[in-house]
Every structure is written in C-alpha cells, then in structure tokens.
Amino acid sequence: MRRGEPVVELHGITKRFPGVVANKDIELTVHRGTVHAIVGENGAGKSTLMKILYGVQQPDEGSIAVEGRVRQLKSPADAIEAGIGMVFQHFQLADNFTVLENVVLGAEGLHGIGDGARRKIKEISDAYGLDIEPDALVEHLGVGAQQRVEILKVLYRGARIIILDEPTAVLVPQEVDELFDNLRELKAEGLTVIFISHKLDEVLRVADAITVVRRGTTVAEVSPQDVSARDLAELMVGSELPSPSTEESTVTDVPLLTVEATSLENPLGGRPLLTDINLTIHSGEIVGIAGVEGNGQDELVEVIMGMREPTAGRILLGDVDTSTWQTREIREAGIGYIPADRHRHGLLLEAPLWENVILGHQTEPIYVTGPGGSLVNGSAARQETEAVVEQYDVRTPSINVTAGSLSGGNQQKLIIGREMRREPKVLVAAHPTRGVDVGAQAAIWDHIKQARRAGLGVLLISADLEELVGLSDTIHVILRGRLTGQFDPDSVTKEELGSAMTGATTEGAA
Amino acid sequence: MTRRFDLRRMGIALSAPVLAILVAVIVTSTILVVAGDPVGEVWGTILSVPRPRVIVAIINAAIVYYISAVAVAIGFRMNLFNIGVDGQYRIAAFAAAVVAGEGWLPGPLNILLGLVVAMLAGGLWAGIAGLLKVYRGVSEVISTIMLNAIATVLVAFLLRKAAPQTGSNIVSTQPIPEGSRVGGLPLIPGVSREVYGLVFLAVLIGVLYWFVLGKTRFGFDLRATGRSESAAVASGVKVKRMVLLSMILSGVVAGLVGMPLLFGQDYAYGTTFQPGLGFAGIAIALLGRNHPVGIVFAAFLWAFLDQQSNALQITAGVSDRLVLIIQGVIVLSVVIAYEVIRRLNVRIEQRRVAQALAEQAATVKEGAPA
C-alpha cells in the first residue's frame, strides 16, 4: 500500500527496571498517514513502550526520532511539543465541565478560552468528522463521544501522531465501528495513529501495519493482508510450545472448592459482572481460567475470596457453604491468595518484609501469641520470613527492608512463599508469574506443581497461555462474565483458546 | 548492615523537624524585621532558660497536649483525620465534671468514675462521625468539624442547666468534692505550683498506644489499613469495623484530654475551661510523626513555645500571638519536610537494596516480564 515517510522511528529502545528488563531492543517505524497497531499479551511491554514514546518514562538505551528529528522526550510536554498526543484507556475528563472547558483546560494559551477556542473546536470536529458540540456537558455524552472529546483534546494541542491505548476496551461494537471510521478520517488527513490492542480481529480490521511485542521486544512487523488472527496469536504467544506436562495427573475426585450457579450483578447497572458460573476444583487439580483481561476474572476471584458477596449462587469449601463468609474466615479456612495486583492487594509497600509475610495470615496460630492470640508474634514472623526468603529465593539484603524496595519479581516470590508456607488447601492464583523473570517463573511453577502433588487445589488465572496450558488440568474460558467453554490442556491449541477468548467461536452463544 | 540502615534512617528522620524549626525561625525573624520589631529580644525571651514556675507550667501543658496528640495520632495511623478531638474532649470533660461533681462515690472511686464517663462520652461523640463514615460515606473531616460546632453549643446549653444558680458571672458545674481531687506532685523544688497528678495517665496512654499499635493484632490490622486499605481488605481486615473502632478509640483518648485539668486544677467544668486543646493536638501529632516518643518531644516544644511567649509583651513589646506564627510555620514546614524525606527514603532504600544485591550476585539475570 501507499505509505508516507516515517514519522516515528524507535531504534534499540531498552528500558530496565530493578531486576527486570521491560523493553529490550525495540525497533519500530511508523509511517505518516497510517494506523499502526501494536499488539502483544498483557505485560508484554506495550505500555512501557508507549510511556517512553509519550515521555512519561525515559529509555536507558536507544533513540527516538519524530518526523526525522532525533528527540529526547523527557516529559509529556516534550512529546506534545513534538506533535505526539496520547488518549488513555481511562478518560481524563471533568464530567461537570463542558467539552469546550475540558478541551482548553491546560491549553488556555493556544486559542484562549472563549470564541476563539470554540471556533477551533468546531473546525477540528468538522475536519475529522468527530461530531462534537463544544458547549455540551461532558456528563451528558456517551462513552464513544467522550472518547472523541479525548481525541479532539489531543488534536487541539497540535498532535500529528496520536497514541490510542486500548481504545475499544470501553466501547460497544457500534461505537467501535464509529471509532474506526474516525480513525480512517484522521489518516486520510495525513495524521498518524498508533493503536494499542490485544483484540486481534479489531486490529486486522483497522490497521495498516502491525507490530507484535513479546516479552519486551518487537518480534515481527506484519501487514494485515498477509496474516490471520491465528498467525497473530501465535506471534504474540511465541512459537515455542510449553513443556508438555509429562507428569501424571494428580487429580482426585475430592472436591475442595465448588462454585455453584454464581452470579454477580453490576452495582452500577448494566451487564452482570458474573453470570451463572459453575466450577469445581478437586484436590490435586489445577483449574485454569483463560480470558481477555476484564471479562470477569477479577470479580470471580473477589467473590471466592469473600471480598464481594455473590448476588446468586453458592460457593462451597468442601461441603460448607462459604458464600456469606468474609475474607478473614475464608483465609482461615485454608484458601491462599495471590492477587493480580500485588501493589494494591498483596503488599504493604512501606512496611518491612516480615510484616508483609504476616499480611493475610494475621490470625494464623504461628503468627500470634498472648491471651486469645491477641498479640503479634514478631519473632516467629521474622523466622518465617527468613524461611520464605531462603526457600523461595527472594533476593533481599535483609528482612527488615520495606517491600517497596524489592524488585517486582522478588515481591512476587515473597507473596508466593508466604502463601505456600501456610500450606493452603486451595490456592487462588491470579497471574502468579506476572513480571517475574524466566528463572523465577520456572521455580514458581515447580512450587505449585509440588503442592499439587500433595493435594493442593488451584484456581489459576493467567494471561499467559503457555502457563495455563502447561500447568492446568482443566481450562475454562471466561468471556463477558460467563464460562463459555471447557478445554483439555493436553489437546487444545492456542488458536482454539485464542478464538474462544475473543468470542470468535461463541459470538452467537454469548 | 541493618543497623547502619536504621541509623541512617533515624538521622534523616530527625533532620526533618530540625529543618522545620530552622525555617520557622527564619520566617518569624523576617516578619519581625519587616514589622520593625526587635528580633534579638524576641528570641532572647523565647529561648531564655525558663524559671521554675514556668517549667511546671510547661510540663503541665505538655501533659495535656500529649494526650490530645495521641488521640489524633490514633486516627492518623489509620488514615482518619479526626479533627473532632476538640469537641470530643469538651463534651467528655463536661460530662465527667457533672458526674464527678455529684460525688456519688467516695474518694478515688469517684475519680475513676469520672474518667470512665469521660472516655464513654468522648468515644460516643467520635462514634457518631465513625458511623456516618461507615454507613453513609461522610468524610470524617467534615463530620467532626460539624460535631465540634455542635459540641460547643450543646455544652454551653447544658452548662446553663447543670450549673448551680449562684448569681456569679462565672458559669460552672458543681465542684468536685475535696476527697476526689488528684493532688499535684512537687517535682520542681522551690515553687508552690505542682505537676498534675494525672501525669501518670498521660504516661499510661503513651505506653498503651505504643503497645496496642505496635504489638497487638488489632494494631497490625489498623496500621495495615492505614498503609493500604485495598491490601488490608484482601488480607481479611474488616475495614468498616476498623474505621468505626479506631474512630471510637480516638474519641476515648480524646475524652481524657481534659482530665488532668479537671481533677488537678479546675475541679469543675465552666466557661473558662481551656479551649483549643484538640487543634493543638493535630499539630503536635504531625510534628511528632504519630510516634509515642516523638509526640513527647513535640508536646514539650509546643508547651515551651506557649509558655515562653507569655512574657513577650513585657520584655520585647511584641504580642504573644507571635507564637502562633512560629507554631504554624513549624507545622507547615514539617509536613512538607516529612513528605520530602519519605520519598527520599523510599528512593534511597530502593537504590541500596539494588546495590546490595548487585554486589551479592555479580551476574544479574535479565528477563522480560512475562
């Protein structure tokens, strides 16, 4: 196809965080007047890459050239100045302001705040078919229109290159169509769009070029005409197949955790977050949940962990109904929990490691002392922490440093260790190896497999298909809050899983 | 290695209040110069060695400030901003004065009854704000400010009813019987003024505060919630219950703020009962970093400045209100300094840990996040 000159060229971009490399040798060339998609699994490094391009983070190595000029983007202001704008997944609009007020906020110097700005907004809206009324109140606009306001905000500030981060995540199908029409208008006018997504069918519909990011680096650039969604999925996940689980099945017929016809209404209205979930985890079984992020995985975990009460259905631990139990009772009953977001739900970042090891197990006999177990047993907690650090290879100079000073991988190992050391009956593990380097990943897998042989039941939620297929005894696919399919990990292909996850095969049913 | 860490951290932690006091001195001096007031004489007065009588006054003021600051600090540790200590201690002191004034129980038992009534009253008054927050999502900042105003009017109203009709201008509750007063301690020789006997109450509160927050499971849950509510929820802490409990606990301690005054000096609650102790407590808790020992120093500094500035009008011809500027600037700078230091600490520790690990393992595995 006809292509303009390169407007964004990234060469050898590398970004390290303590202990991990988030981006390594990124090569990316985006041409003027194209929609360039960047695809990759969650945690593949897409967002770090975009933060670098938008000046939020600085690369350790490599160069960025915008419209032929090599640039040092030290802040978003630099990026805007270079003509790069970003629309975030979560809108940054003030609901009680009008479109005009939102657009000029922070850019008052450009065209004033009155008629000049209003004229400019109309002009942009007409030029790109955005259909935005400057004096409308943002809270009266639908999600699609709010997104167009965000795009207009970026254009108003003079952007010629627009980064859209997962723009379709919040849209219904009709709105997605409208957005894609808008994107075509933008590129027809000579603007460039960088489109981040993991929804492969959408990427194939709208993109002119696709770059695949895997494990922090760019692995391929393909043209949508030449590839199928399957090819893309394979590129995203990597061709190397998981080491087939040669171990004998340890699945027993003793049910440990049973989720029965469980539903969860959305308190804000709209589609239920969970609908009629049925699931059984037996002793010695790992049940994997595959799904695109935001399809009800978090809610399923929160319902099981007692952080939310289901609106219908029952959850049984053994044969005891725990649906109305609170988190503490559920944890005391022997459910270990590895949260998806370790910073928000797993750790006290400003507390020392040994206090973090107590967290979630405050009432465990080993950590309490005194009358009625009302006191914290600090010395026992320190001993346990030493054991966790030792057994789970947490790299730290001391157990008295704060959890926040460890690298992400070591934080994760600390959490895994603290849960596994308590020998839970059931482990609810959400993305247990996210952000962990390859060596530690294998170690964590080994720990889980070992515990499974001893009878542990695991609910494994992961975005890493390799991990799911390699560890699970059964895989369920979750889509829009429903379990839409059950697969045998020994025979399923990644393509089958991928299309089930995106609803390609169950579109009608769901 | 750990010890070195701690020493360094302590050094940094101490530098913040010292820096804040320095800034306060500079700002205050600047104001004095601009206003044409005698800078040297002002500082000479404030920094002079206090006379024995003043030393007793400083100790007594610090005792009361300490209890107030601990009440505020309990909330702070949980990320609750209990501005209502002021209303809570006045309601509590009034209730205790009324009950103790009746003299239903003999001697020391009457004192104990007074303390219990004060704790109940303070806890209940703070509990209103706690309930509003838990069940209606009302910010405790707003509700406690409102409750302070209500407390003022309520106490004034009830005081009229409770006060014996004497015909005097001073409206006050029935005095506490002689046998139920707490005698002072002649700690400083050569002066007739004595240190409040209830200094032991302040010490006990300090020890309990340290013990409950630092050593008990309840304290662990409370601190966890203050550090990260989301992580606390995931760990099984019933956050609503914790909010209510810690608010009530804060109120219980707030209820005791007025007790050294009531049983050791005033023996009744009247219109002249010392106001504003709750707000001083907020500043002192901030300055003392919610630390049981840190608050001791902060309370003494506050009391020192208060008492030493009394003489300003006479010796330097400057209003003693100047001390409010000094205290205000100290609090403002200390809040900023602590935040700067906190961020600095986080960064330094991250770097240290990374460094220590790099030394341990010559080769660092490089891997992209999965």
Q: Model confidence over A443-482: pLDDT tens digits?
A: 888 889 888 888 999 999 987 777 888 899 999 999 889 9
Q: What is the pLDDT of residue A509?
A: 36
pLDDT for A439 equals 66
Contacts for A245 with CB less than 8 Å, ≥ 6 apart: A470, A471, A489, A490
Cβ-based neighbour number of residue A189 at 10 Å = 13
**pLDDT value for B363:** 46
Please classify residue A121 by burial: count the beta carbons closer than 10 Å to its beta carbon, then call 0-12 exposed, 13-18 middle and 19+ buried.
buried
Q: Is A353 in the B-facing interface, judged by CB distances under 8 Å?
A: no
Which long-range CB contacts under 8 A does A483-492 form with residues at least 24 apart? A483/A277, A483/A278, A483/A279, A484/A509, A484/A510, A487/A290, A489/A245, A489/A288, A490/A244, A490/A245
Q: Copy the structure tokens of residue A415.
A: 């959490």
Residues A209/A34, Cβ–Cβ less than 8 Å: yes
Q: Is A336 on the interface with B (CB under 8 A)?
A: no
Residue carrying the six token digits 């997104």: A147
Residue A3: per-residue pLDDT: 64
What's the pLDDT at A42?
A: 62
Query: What is the per-residue pLDDT for A316?
Result: 92
Query: Are the beta carbons of A407 and B354 separated by less than 8 Å?
Result: yes
Label residue A247 exposed, middle or buried (CB < 10 Å: 0-12, 13-18, 19+).
exposed
A6-237 and A252-334+424-510 agree in CATH topology: yes
Crossing angle (nearest 10°) for helices B277-287 and B292-308: 120
Query: Is residue A508 very low, low, confident or very high in pLDDT (cuts 50, 70, 90)?
Result: very low
Output A172 or B352, whichever has higher pLDDT: B352
Task: Report the residue of B220, B348, B363, B364 to disrupt the A interface, i.e. the one with the largest count of A CBs within 10 Å.
Answer: B220
Phi, psi of A290 (to 5 degrees): -105, 145
What's residue A367's pLDDT?
92
| Nearest-by-Cβ selection for B231 from A16, A20, A344 | A344
Burial of B256: CB neighbours in 10 Å, binned 0-12, 13-18, 19+: buried
Say whether residue A464 is in contact with chain B using an 8 A CB cutoff. yes
List of residues 6+ apart from A373 with CB closer than 8 A: A363, A365, B217
> Rounded distance, CA A42 to CA A61, Å?
23
For B41-107, the DSSP string reads HHHHHHTSPPPHHHHHHHHHHHHHHHHHHHHHHHHHTTT---TTHHHHHHHHHHHHHHHHHHT-S-H
Inform me whether the C-beta atom of residue A354 falls under 8 Å from chain B C-beta atoms. no
- Please check the confidence at residue B362 and state whether its pLDDT lies above 60: no
pLDDT at A172 over 70: no
A406 touches chain B (CB under 8 A): yes
Nearest in space to A389 (alpha carbons), one of A429, A334, A352, A346: A352
Q: Is the separation of the CB atoms in A14 and A61 below 8 Å?
A: yes
Q: Is the dihedral of CA B293, B299, B302, B303 positive or negative?
A: negative
SS3 B264: helix
pLDDT > 90 in chain B, percent: 55
The mean pLDDT value of chain A amounts to 85
Give start-end residues of each CATH 1.10.3470.10 domain in chain B: 53-312
Q: How far is C-alpha A42 from the geometric centre of its chain's CA atoms?
A: 5
pLDDT tops 60 at residue B161: yes
pLDDT average, residue stretch A205-233? 85
CA dihedral A120, A126, A132, A136 (to 10 degrees): 50
How many Å apart are CA A207 and CA A196, to the nearest integer? 10
| B162-219 residue pLDDT tens | 877 666 667 888 888 888 888 888 888 878 888 998 999 999 999 999 999 999 999 9
Closest CA to B257 of B130, B94, B101: B94
Report the alpha-carbon angle B249-B252-B253, nearest 5: 95
Please state, in angstroms and as integers, the Cα–Cα distance from residue B336 to each residue in A94, A309, B78, B145, following that order: 29, 41, 20, 24
Would the CB atoms of A405 and B353 count as touching at under 8 Å? yes
Q: Do A362 and B368 touch (CB under 8 A)?
A: no
Instruction: Identify the sign of the CA torsion A379, A381, A382, A386.
Output: positive
The CATH code of the domain at A6-237 is 3.40.50.300
Dihedral of alpha carbons A30, A36, A40, A46, sign: positive
Provide the pLDDT for residue A461: 93
d(CA B274, CA A283): 66
No. of helices (H) and no. of strands (E), chain B: 15, 0
Q: Kindly report the nearest CA distance between residue A374 and chain B, in angstroms.
A: 6
Question: Are residues A132 and A164 in contact, defined by beta-carbon separation less than 8 angstroms?
Answer: no
**Alpha-carbon dihedral sign for residues B70, B73, B78, B83:** positive
Could you count the other beta carbons within 10 Å of the beta carbon of residue B300?
A: 18
What does the radius of gyration of chain A's CA atoms come to, in whole angstroms? 25
User: Taking CB atoms and an 8 Å cut-off, how many pairs form between chains A and B?
Assistant: 160
B107 has pLDDT over 90: no
The B-side interface with A (CB below 8 A) comprises: 1-2, 5-6, 215-221, 223-224, 227-228, 230-231, 233-238, 346, 349-350, 352-354, 356-357, 360-361, 364-370
The tokens of A312 are what? Answer: 């219908």
Separation of first and last alpha carbons in chain B: 33
CATH 3.40.50.300 fits A252-334+424-510, yes or no: yes
- CA B249 – CA B70 distance, rounded (Å): 11
DSSP character for B267? S
A407-423 confidence digits (pLDDT tens): 777 899 999 999 999 99
Contact residues, chain B, for A336 at CB < 8 Å: none
DSSP bridge pairs for A29: A9
Region of residue B76 (left: phi > 0; alpha: psi -120 to 50; beta: else) = alpha
Are the beta carbons of A303 and A310 closer than 8 angstroms?
Answer: yes
DSSP string across B217-259: HHHHHHHHHHH-HHHHHHTT--HHHHHHHHHHHHHHHHHTTTH
For residue range A320-379, what is the model confidence (pLDDT) as tens digits?
A: 998 889 999 999 999 999 998 888 899 999 899 999 999 999 999 999 998 888 999 999
Is residue B1 helix, strand or coil?
A: coil
For the domain made up of B53-312, give the CATH fold. ABC transporter involved in vitamin B12 uptake, BtuC (1.10.3470)
Q: Distance between CA atoms of B45 and B54, rounded to whole angstroms?
A: 13
What does the domain layout of chain A look like in residue ranges? 6-237, 252-334+424-510, 342-423
Instruction: Report the length, in residues, of chain A.
Output: 510
Q: Is the pLDDT of residue A441 over 80?
A: no
CB B238 within 8 A of CB B146: no
